[in-house]
Chains A and B, each alone.
Chain A
């Protein structure tokens, strides 16, 4: 069974601070997806990382996939109140023994105070 451990579970910071969310596993994933989920809505895809060591940037958000494709991080620079929300990582082993099954982390609830 593949597991993804996401940390921290809760993060409360002031506007302008930087933060990093981690997603770790003992399993190798074909790709890793980061989602953001607002209350009452479904997860919205932010980015997919596929290659070990890959770094992707989305404005102030930087996503990294570990060299061994077992872990990933999301770094937000100069956080803003609009970044407040639930962030989820999800690993995909498609092409291995699964057919698109995503394994989700527990999520990180981020609160950015003005």
Chain B
């Protein structure tokens, strides 16, 4: 069964450094999402993306965050200058349409030191 893949599985970075989290969505999906889950808390929506544009973003997704689809297969989340509170699991998801179920990757655990 097609799946969403995320790399790396674990990223450790010094505070203030830039990180790029990578995702390969399911190949025929055109709608992409990032979510995060801080340890012990709910999964939270960050951003949705379609047709090379951000469709919706949450309050968490401030100017430090950006997303990009650099080629036909990858979807990336960049955090420009990481803070301690950015430490979380980051999940990428994709779907075949806004009303279609979302399929999640296994996440990247981001640890900011």
| Contacts from A to B (Cβ < 8 Å) | 30-31, 33, 35, 40-45, 48, 88, 90, 92, 94-95, 98-107
Cβ 8 A contact of B98, one of A33, A100, A105: A100
User: Interface residues of B, CB < 8 Å — how many?
Assistant: 26
Cβ 8 A contact of A99, one of B42, B50, B91: B50
Top 8 A-B pairs, shortest CB-CB distance: A42-B104, A99-B55, A94-B98, A104-B43, A99-B56, A42-B106, A101-B45, A100-B98
A102 engages B106 (CB within 8 Å): no
Asked whether any CB of chain A lies closer than 8 Å to the CB of B70, the reply is no
B104 engages A98 (CB within 8 Å): no
Cβ 8 A contact of A107, one of B42, B50, B103: B42
CA distance A31 to B102 in the complex (A): 12
Chain A residues within an 8 Å CB radius of B93:
42
| Contacts from B to A (Cβ < 8 Å) | 4, 6, 31, 33, 35, 42-45, 48, 50, 55-56, 58, 91, 93, 95, 98-99, 101-107
CA distance A12 to B43 in the complex (A): 23
A104 engages B42 (CB within 8 Å): yes
- Asked, given contacts A40-B106, A43-B91, whether A101 binds B48 with beta carbons under 8 Å apart, the answer is yes
Chain A residues within an 8 Å CB radius of B56:
98-101
**What are 11 A-B interface contacts by the 8 Å CB criterion?**
A42-B104, A42-B105, A90-B43, A100-B55, A100-B56, A101-B56, A102-B33, A102-B45, A104-B43, A105-B42, A106-B42
